[in-house]
Amino acid sequence: MRERPYTLLSCCVSIDGYIGSAASRLLLSNDADFDRVDAVRASCDAILVGAETVRVDNPRLIVRSEARRDERAARGLPESPIKVTVTRRAELDARADFFSVGDTEKIVYCASPRAADARGRLGRVATVVDAGDNVEMRALSTDLAARGIDRLMVEGGGTVHTQFLTDDLVDELQLTVAPVFVGDSDATRFVRDGLFPWNPARRAELVDVQKLGDVVLLRYALSSRFQEAQRGNGC
């Protein structure tokens, strides 16, 4: 068993670096990219988003393509990856699509002070893990590995991205840039302030660029595990 899952962070940003509007869900990407993301989802064991993304976007986080779901089922996997979220406040609605859509397992990592509350509210629809006084993404990753998660996809939002990146837990970054500006500093940016391992003195490695209609996909290798994963895939 690996100490932590291979971790792929996938995100779509505006030209000016935002991932969401201050008021509502913002659709930045296009159909070709949504389909690419669906294929990436289908290749993962679990998908993680922050609680604010669950509240604001109400995402389903399932594999949309029937062919991909069938292919997973044929390999003895659930049709869609396990869904994972993190919360301190536990203010999550059990009727949200995150919990109600798809037969796959849902896991909520909750900080200790509200873990009992989270169990009361979500215990019917999810496995609630008391993650200690503060949910640390490294400990969470180790716990996911122990639950058999070998490949994790992190899908937002900015607060969660920041922690995975500053903790150096991301092996691969897939960043799509959409041809729009948001222009509102109250909107959510790709990341918040932090000490990132990549900076002018240590640049990230760009491994691929793809044009998908009007968006561009930038693929970065952020750890040596990226190359190992490519060899494992026969690439």
Ligand X SMILES: NC(=O)c1ccc[n+]([C@@H]2O[C@H](COP(=O)([O-])OP(=O)(O)OC[C@H]3O[C@@H](n4cnc5c(N)ncnc54)[C@H](OP(=O)(O)O)[C@@H]3O)[C@@H](O)[C@H]2O)c1
Cα-based angle 153, 171, 212 (whole degrees, multiple of 5) = 65
Given a contact cutoff of 8 angstroms between Cβ atoms, the answer to whether 99 and 125 are in contact is yes
In the chain, what is the greatest distance between 2 CA atoms, to the nearest angstrom? 49
33 near ligand X (CB under 6 A): no
88 near ligand X (CB under 6 A): yes
The phi, psi pair for 154, rounded to 5°, reads: -100, 125
Distance CA(106)–CA(100), nearest Å, equals: 10
9 near ligand X (CB under 6 A): no
- Nearest distance in Å: CB 110, ligand X: 7
Site string for ligand X, 41-80 (x = CB under 6 A): --------xxxxx--xx-----------------------
Distance CA(47)–CA(25), nearest Å, equals: 19
171 near ligand X (CB under 6 A): no
Distance CA(179)–CA(103), nearest Å, equals: 35
Per CB under 6 A, the list member of 8, 9, 12, 154 interacting with ligand X is 12
By C-beta, is 80 or 188 nearer to ligand X? 188
Work out the burial of residue 124: count CB atoms within 10 Å of its CB; fewer than 13 is exposed, 13-18 middle, 19 or more buried: exposed
By C-beta, is 5 or 200 nearer to ligand X? 5
Given a contact cutoff of 8 angstroms between Cβ atoms, the answer to whether 78 and 38 are in contact is no
Contacts to ligand X from residues 94-123, by CB under 6 A = 111
83 near ligand X (CB under 6 A): no
- Nearest distance in Å: CB 161, ligand X: 7
From 17-25, 143-151, 199-207, 211-219, give the range in contact with ligand X by CB under 6 A.
Answer: 17-25
- Nearest distance in Å: CB 158, ligand X: 4
Per CB under 6 A, the list member of 79, 91, 97, 117 interacting with ligand X is 91
Distance CA(155)–CA(28), nearest Å, equals: 14
Chain-centre distance for alpha carbon 208: 20
Given a contact cutoff of 8 angstroms between Cβ atoms, the answer to whether 95 and 74 are in contact is no
Per CB under 6 A, the list member of 2, 16, 23, 25 interacting with ligand X is 25
Residues of this chain that interact with ligand X (CB under 6 A) are 11-12, 19-20, 25, 28, 49-53, 56-57, 86-89, 91, 111, 134-135, 155-160, 163, 188
